Each structure stands twice: as C-alpha cells, then as structure tokens.
Chain A
Amino acid sequence: MNKRILIITGDNLGLSREQIDYPDIEILKYPVLVDGNEYRQSAEYDAAWLVEKYVKEGVVAKSSSIIKGELIDVVEANKDRYDLIVHVVMSSVMSAATFAVAENVREMYKKTIPIINIDSRQLVTGVGNVLMGVIDIIKEHDDADDIVRLSQEIVHNTYSYMVVPDLNYLARGGRIGKAKALMGSVLRIIPILGLMGDDEEGIIVPLDRGRTFQQVNQKMIDLMKAKMAEKSATQIQRIILNDFGDNQEAVSDLKERLKSLPCKEMIHGKADLVAVVHCGPKAYFFAITV
C-alpha cells in the first residue's frame, strides 16, 4: 500500500478500538439522549449503564446522527496527512441524515482530499463487519476504484441477525421496518430480525420467531446455513457478536452453536450505547460476512 489512507467510522459498529487492527482510524461518537440529556459512549456511560437505566428507571433514550462539525474537525485535522479518506457509514436507509452529512462533507472537501463514503447498509455489528472487510481490502489495494468495487461486494455479502425480545425499542426509534408485523402478540414471542446485505430495500425484516432463546439461537444457525447454501459459500469470513451482558445464558448458548459453523474469525465485540437505544435489554446480535 503506497497511499496513506485514513478510515473514519461511527462508534455504533460493535467493536472496541483495540479489536480493530488498523492504525489510521478515527471513530466518531454518536450522541445519545437519555431523558433529554446528551451522553457519548465512554467507560462510565456504556451499554450496561443504559440497560440498567432502562430496566430500573424506565428512561426514554434516543440517538442522533453524527455531528457534521465533528466530522469536519476530523477531516480538517487529517487532510494534509493522508492521500485518501474512506468513511464507513451506517446504513443510509436506517439513517439518511448520517449519510447525508457524510456526503456533504465529501463534497466540501472534494478539491482538497478524496473521500469515499461506503454505505454499509448495516447497523452495529454489521457496520463492524463491513469495516473489517474494508480494512482487509485497504491492506491489499490503494486504488480508489478498487476499494469502492470490492467494498460493495463486502456490503452485499454481509448479513445481520438480531434477537430483540422487546420490539418497542426498535419501533420508538423508527427502525422497525417489516418486523412491525411481529409486534403485539398475546403470546410472548422472541423475534429474529435481519438486515440482509443483498436485500434491495435494506430495511429490517422479520426472519423467524421462537418462544425461547435456545429456539431462536438454533433457528439463526439454520438461517445462516441456508444463506451460506444460497450463496454457495463454504466458509464464513467473519462473525462479530454483541450483547449487553444481561442475557449471558442465551449468548453463551449462541456462541457454542456458532462454533459449529465453518468460520475464519469470530469476534465477541463490544456493544455501544446506540445499540442499546434501539434494541433494549436482553437483546443480542451478530453479523456475518460470507
């Protein structure tokens, strides 16, 4: 790699800084409003903190798009040190505002430094998967066109699976998509939601449902196997798993089941505040790239 390439991304990617093997990266923090007060992800205000606030205090939380000024600050501070900036952005369907900010800044700096905005079409661990895939590409290629083309393949082959026991959190954030159909059942059901990279609409879809976490875990494994067969994939390139630490039995069960799949790398990542805002307590999720 001859070019100096900076990667920018948001902190709702399901990975801690230490889990990302790339030195030149800037991670922007999404603002989260809890009962009207703004917080950013930190050692003090993390996923477990917000889960506790939800459970014990019944707070209302919401997230906001990235702040344009903060993105400009990052670009401004680095524009002379790098030849190219690659910004891995959360799904433009889920947050059109964030993608618009990224595009706006790219336009502002088009005469100064080239910026590639990669629409991950994903949330949380899905963004993490796309980011890690893009890093793999950048380690091998520095031509902008190659990076764009190969990144699109990563986006297309990345699939998120989410267990969200209470869909009300997702509904409040306006990101429930077609999973709305699973709301309001008399029977307690645990939905499995998906965000499929090869789905043209790019919205959250209900994939299946179960009554127990063990059931939904097995169903997710079956769904993944079906997806691999559909894509004629013999191996999963990467799995990134997230949880909030409040549903350990279910997550351990899932991890055991995931181990049965052929996978090059499995990362138990770190969930962030935004994930808790939209998924609520006891949720857990992972994304795969095939």
Chain B
Amino acid sequence: MTAHADNQMPEIKGIIENVYKYLHRRKEYINGLNVFPVPDGDTGLNMTLTMQGALANMPEYDGKIISNGEYLRDFAGQMLMNSRGCSGVILALYCHGLSEVIVNGDFSPANIHKALENGYQKAYQGTDNPREGTILTLMYAFKEKFGELMAEEEDFAAIIRKCIPHLKSVLDKTPDMLPVLKQAGVVDSGGAGFLIILEGLEREINFKQSNGGEVRASTILNAIKNIRKQIQSSTSNIKNNHLGGLHINGGLEKINNIKLRDIISDFQHYSGNMLNQSKKKLLKEAWLNDLKEMESTWDPHIQYRYCTEFVVKSDKISSQEEIRQLVEGYGDSVIVLNSSDLYKVHIHTNKPDAVFTDVAKYGELVFTKVDDMKKQHRNFISHDTIEYERESSIFCIVSGLGFKKILEELGADHVFCYGKKKPSVEQLVKAINQLKAKNVIAAADDQDILMSLKYAASLCKSNVQIVESKSVISLISMLMAASNDLNVNNMSFISKLNDIRYCGISRAVRETKAADGTIVKKGDFFTIYDHNIICSGKHIKEVAVQSIEKLAQNENLVTLYKGIPAKKDNSLLPELRSLFPDKEFEEYYGGQYQYHYYITFE
C-alpha cells in the first residue's frame, strides 16, 4: 500500500471507509444474533457507530502527506474515543493494537502477523472477564491461522482470503463454547461482526462479493410460537407454511439460526414417520423444551439495565486498574481504555448516575452515555423493530404552529403540533418511533401532557429522557442552549429550561380570584406569572403594560409571542414601544390557543 499522489490521502482511508459501509449494510444481521452479554440487539449498531464516529472525527491533514500506517494509527485512536458498547470497545482495542505495530508502514505478512498478535493481546487484556465463544475467540483464531498460512503464501491479501472459511467454521463453533449462544441457537454476534469486517476487507482487497442471510430476533420468536402450535396440534408438515415471517420454501439451509433449523428439520423428518405414540410424545416434549429454552434466552433477566459509558479526564487516576476498581462494584462488563489523561470506561450497571458522581470526584467527565438495555431489548424482540438511524434526537410537543416553526429552526428534530386537542399516547409513541433515534429527549409545552408522554416513553422503542418543562418558553430556553450538532456528549442544555422569565396573558372564562384577593371578572384579561395571577383588567393593553412594569427588571429585550386569540391584534406592539422607549420589543406569532400573549423578558 502507498500514499496516493493525487489527493495525498493514503489508500487505506478508502479501504476503511468501504469496510465501514460493508459493515453498516449488515449491522441488522449482527444485531439479530446479539444474546451475549445482554440480548439488547445492538452489537451491529455499536460496531458500526464505533467506526462511523472514528471516521467522522478523523483530521483533515491539510494536504499533508501521511502514510497508511499513520492513518491507521489516527483511525485507531479515534476508534478508542468513539467506541460504543462491549463489541465496539473490544474492536477499538484490537484496532489500536494493530496500529501500534503497523504504524511503521510495513504491510509484510510477518509484520501483519505481529500486529494481529498485538491486537489480540490488547483486546484480551482490556476485556473484563474474557470468555471463549466471543469476538476474542475469532481474533485469536485469525492470528493463529494467519501465522500458519504465512508458510505457504507471501501475499497478505491471499492469506486473509484463505483465513475466512476457517474463521467461519470457528464462528459456527461458538455456540459450543458459550452455552447462552447454543440455547438461543445463534453464533456470537461480536464474532460475526468481526468476520464481516474481515470479509469486507477481503472484498476490498480482492474485489469479491459475499452473501449473508438475515433473520430478525422477532421473526425467530414468531417462528417459535408457530412451530410450538403446530407441534402441539400434531400437524405433520410445516414445509410450505410461513412461520411468522420466516419463509422456508427456499430450503432450511437458508435459516441462519442453527437451533431453529434443527428443530424444524427434526420435526419434518419424524412427524411423518411411523413412530409409536410414546416415542412421538417424547420427541414432542423434547422439541417443546428446546423451543422454551430458546425463548427464554431471547427474553432474559437483565441484571444490570444500563449500558453506561463515560470519558473522564483526570490527573488523579494513575492507572486503568485504579478506575476499574473504582467502578466495578457497580456492575459488570467493565472495559477501560486509556489515552494520556483520558480514560474511557464501559460498564453495565443499574446506577449510572452514582457511577458518574463517584468518578466526577476524580476529574472532569467529558462524555457520558447511558443506554437502557431493557428498552433496546424490547425493541429488538418486537415485530416492528426500529433500525436506529441516529444516536440522539430532540422531540417537542407544542400547541401552536408558530412555535413549531420556531423550535424546529432552533434545532428540534421533530415538533408535534397538537393544536387544541392534547395528543394521545398512541400519537406520541408513533411520533417518537418515527425519529428512529436510539436516545430521544422529549419535552412538552404543557405539564398536562407529561403523564401521556411518560406512558408513551415506556411503550416506544427509544431511550426517552423526558424533560419536565412548564411551557413552550421553557422549550425555547432549552433549545437556545443546545448546540446544532446535538450529541450525547453534552446535555447540559436541559438545565437551561428556566433561563427565560415569562408571563402569559389570557382571558377569564369565569370569575376568579387572584392571589392578592383581587376579583377577576368573566371576560377580563389577566396575567399569570409563576402560577399566580399578578394583574387583570378590561383591556389587554392595560394588562400588558402592568405586567411589563411589574416584571421587567434589568432585562432589555421584551418579546411578545402572539396566540390565536390575538392573531388579528396589530396595535399592542407599537403602543408598548412608545410607552417603554428604553426597552427593545420583538413580536412573533406563536399560534397558541390558550394565551393571547406570552411575554418574555431577556
């Protein structure tokens, strides 16, 4: 491999990008195999996001010529910092190990073998409780086979090509090494992802095509239900039936779930045979037991619910072991990575906040991420699984069309406008699911919607963080503080909800009493500030003037957000401008139904 003279970027850049695309296209297949350590169906996504994050953060190099080895070193560094989930972290460690050796630009088989050894060692040492039957087994098998084939091949591309069939056979054996895989009838998802990366690499180097069958977890669960029914009803032939989305007309070999394939095969073979009743009964029981075992694997007890990751910048922590000891009491699947004074930690825990609080005592948390694996698991096994397309989204719920537009332009990914009628749980679930985001920050302009939103959050497929906002002005305040390229690294904008002081002017539909005992007559205008009626009157102008006099302190900017009841009123703004010449006024259409005006003070 050499650096290209035309664009000064190394050849390996294109290869890595294409391998990433190859992996990305197959991520759902990998997700569908994910039962270990937790069946949350995101192995493919995590591996993909790890590569995607690394590619997105690669430096521009400003026309500087860099070698393939240097590019790989930088890419591996970015992988470490952008790694997601167990498999992503292990892959990043492996790549880091490879790059430490290959940075010298030597792509000879001997040097690559050395790099594979180093990559495996880094991945193995960095993994908490390393197990056979996982991605580590594939990494080990790869370097062993590569070393063996070096004796007969000089070209590393040819060696990789020859390694792949062997690694496929190793992957097929992973269920024998890890009982949970056997129980679920799958091969290891991380290992499968690793093999796909190698296939992509081999394809890039040798321009070959490869194929892969994909069956979703939900399809498998559906098939289990259908097969159970047919076994129980003693149907003799299921060959031409559709098993809840699993089509077997093309032959059983297309079903990539080994256990399911065996059960269907046995069932088809024996059910038509002339066996005695007791033998048939025993076989039935065995098949039903197998099916039950499979089902339980896909629906496990998740001991630690939150897949938690963080990066802490610290000069108080002296080693990876020290930070491991600090957090390991909180859960399992601990992986620690280190680069100068930055430590990246992955852990499955039930107390992510406590972990963050503890770690923050030792340095600055520069990145945090929490995934609810129970929720991801529910999505994973459901019939309408969502393929997440982005990491995070902001979802807002407002009454007015004017506010919808304002919030969208301030960075909300979707604003649900409900008009007069508050949204149903079903509408909210649908809207949140349509975002196809792994994490959703949801906020409504009315506290009455919170209950529905909370229920919707429990039903939808994303991790939903509900922001308990009081009004649409809180949403504006929050979004003003959000960066345009929202990511999970910085959610501090949520704390900015109450940064804008405001009041609302409405009209009384019945007689009521203000906090100070003043009677507000039916039809009068009144101002609500901080849940209290602070003034009222016959005319909207006098109420607005009183409100500004009472509430405007040092703020210079007074903004009117006009609602539907005041849509045709164009007189208030010029009058206020002339009455308060030292203040700056702006007016926007909010389109809210309840309030004639919201008035903000900034």
- Give the interface of A toward B (CB within 8 A): 181-182, 184-189, 200-202, 206, 208-212, 214-215
Is chain A's interface secondary structure helix, strand, loop, or mixed overall? loop
Q: Which of B59, B483, B557 contacts A212, CB < 8 Å?
A: B557
Q: Smallest CB-CB separation from A206: which chain B residue?
A: B484
> What is the minimal beta-carbon distance from A256 to any residue of chain B, in angstroms?
14
Q: Smallest CB-CB separation from A202: which chain B residue?
A: B62
Cα distance A182–B602 in the bound complex, in angstroms: 20
Q: Which of B62, B409, B484, B602 contacts A211, CB < 8 Å?
A: B602
Which chain A residues lie closer than 8 Å to B548 at the CB level? Answer: none
Q: Which of B409, B483, B485, B556 contacts A187, CB < 8 Å?
A: B409
Q: A200-B59, A211-B602, A212-B602 are in contact. Are A189 and B557 (CB under 8 A)?
A: no
Which chain B residues lie closer than 8 Å to A184 at the CB level? Answer: 409
> What is the minimal beta-carbon distance from B534 to any residue of chain A, in angstroms?
23
Cα distance A188–B60 in the bound complex, in angstroms: 34
Q: Smallest CB-CB separation from B59: which chain A residue?
A: A200
Q: Which of B62, B402, B480, B556 contacts A209, CB < 8 Å?
A: B480
Q: Does B405 count as interface, using CB distance less than 8 angstroms?
A: yes
20 extra A-B contacts, CB within 8 A, seeds A186-B406, A208-B483: A182-B484, A184-B409, A186-B402, A186-B405, A186-B588, A187-B406, A187-B409, A187-B476, A200-B62, A201-B60, A202-B62, A206-B483, A211-B480, A211-B557, A211-B559, A212-B555, A212-B556, A212-B602, A214-B556, A215-B602
Q: Smallest CB-CB separation from A188: which chain B residue?
A: B586
Q: Are A187 and B557 in contact (CB under 8 A)?
A: no
Which chain A residues lie closer than 8 Å to B484 at the CB level? Answer: 181-182, 206
10 sample A-B contacts, Cβ–Cβ < 8 Å, listed by A number: A185-B406, A186-B588, A187-B410, A187-B476, A189-B480, A200-B60, A200-B62, A208-B481, A208-B483, A210-B480
Q: Which of B405, B480, B555 has the most CB of A within 10 A?
A: B480
> What is the minimal beta-carbon distance from B586 to any residue of chain A, in angstroms?
6
Which chain A residues lie closer than 8 Å to B557 at the CB level? Answer: 211-212
> What is the minimal beta-carbon distance from A258 to any residue of chain B, in angstroms?
19
Q: Which of A184, A200, A202 has the most CB of B within 10 A?
A: A200
> What is the minimal beta-carbon distance from B466 to any residue of chain A, in angstroms?
24
Cα distance A188–B410 in the bound complex, in angstroms: 11
Cα distance A220–B456 in the bound complex, in angstroms: 39
Cα distance A189–B588 in the bound complex, in angstroms: 13
Interface string of B469-486 (1 = CB under 8 A from A): 000000010001101110
For chain B, the count of residues having a C-beta within 8 Å of the partner chain is 21
Q: Are B602 and A187 in contact (CB under 8 A)?
A: no
Which positions 555-589 of chain B face chain A at CB distance < 8 Å? 555-557, 559, 586, 588
Interface string of B389-432 (1 = CB under 8 A from A): 00000000000001001100110000000000000000000000
Which chain B residues lie closer than 8 Å to A182 at the CB level? Answer: 484
Which chain A residues lie closer than 8 Å to B485 at the CB level? Answer: 181
- Give the interface of B toward A (CB within 8 A): 59-60, 62, 402, 405-406, 409-410, 476, 480-481, 483-485, 555-557, 559, 586, 588, 602
Cα distance A184–B485 in the bound complex, in angstroms: 16
Which chain A residues lie closer than 8 Å to B62 at the CB level? Answer: 200, 202
Pick the 7 closest A-B CB pairs, nearest first. A181-B484, A185-B409, A200-B59, A211-B602, A212-B557, A186-B406, A212-B602
Q: Are A186 and B602 in contact (CB under 8 A)?
A: no
Q: Smallest CB-CB separation from A219: which chain B residue?
A: B481
> What is the minimal beta-carbon distance from A97 to any residue of chain B, in angstroms?
16
Q: Smallest CB-CB separation from B364: which chain A residue?
A: A229
Cα distance A111–B21 in the bound complex, in angstroms: 51
> What is the minimal beta-carbon distance from B131 to any residue of chain A, in angstroms?
39
Which chain B residues lie closer than 8 Å to A209 at the CB level? Answer: 480
Q: Smallest CB-CB separation from A92: which chain B residue?
A: B62
Cα distance A214–B60 in the bound complex, in angstroms: 36
Q: A210-B480, A212-B557 are in contact. Are A186 and B59 (CB under 8 A)?
A: no
Q: Are B60 and A187 in contact (CB under 8 A)?
A: no
Which chain B residues lie closer than 8 Å to A208 at the CB level? Answer: 481, 483
Which chain A residues lie closer than 8 Å to B60 at the CB level? Answer: 200-201
Which chain A residues lie closer than 8 Å to B481 at the CB level? Answer: 208
> What is the minimal beta-carbon distance from B62 to any residue of chain A, in angstroms?
8
Which chain B residues lie closer than 8 Å to A212 at the CB level? Answer: 555-557, 602
Cα distance A27–B539 in the bound complex, in angstroms: 64
Cα distance A28–B560 in the bound complex, in angstroms: 49
> What is the minimal beta-carbon distance from A5 to any residue of chain B, in angstroms?
27
Which chain A residues lie closer than 8 Å to B586 at the CB level? Answer: 188
Which chain B residues lie closer than 8 Å to A211 at the CB level? Answer: 480, 557, 559, 602
Q: Are A185 and B602 in contact (CB under 8 A)?
A: no
Q: Are B409 and A186 in contact (CB under 8 A)?
A: yes
> What is the minimal beta-carbon distance from B235 to any residue of chain A, in angstroms?
60
> What is the minimal beta-carbon distance from A71 to any residue of chain B, in angstroms?
23
Which chain B residues lie closer than 8 Å to A210 at the CB level? Answer: 480
Which chain A residues lie closer than 8 Å to B409 at the CB level? Answer: 184-187
> What is the minimal beta-carbon distance from B105 to any residue of chain A, in angstroms?
22
Which chain A residues lie closer than 8 Å to B59 at the CB level? Answer: 200
Which chain B residues lie closer than 8 Å to A202 at the CB level? Answer: 62
> What is the minimal beta-carbon distance from B478 to any residue of chain A, in angstroms?
13
> What is the minimal beta-carbon distance from A269 to any residue of chain B, in angstroms?
27
Q: Smallest CB-CB separation from B555: which chain A residue?
A: A212
Cα distance A200–B59 in the bound complex, in angstroms: 7
> What is the minimal beta-carbon distance from A240 to any residue of chain B, in angstroms?
26
Which chain B residues lie closer than 8 Å to A186 at the CB level? Answer: 402, 405-406, 409, 588
Q: Are B410 and A185 in contact (CB under 8 A)?
A: yes
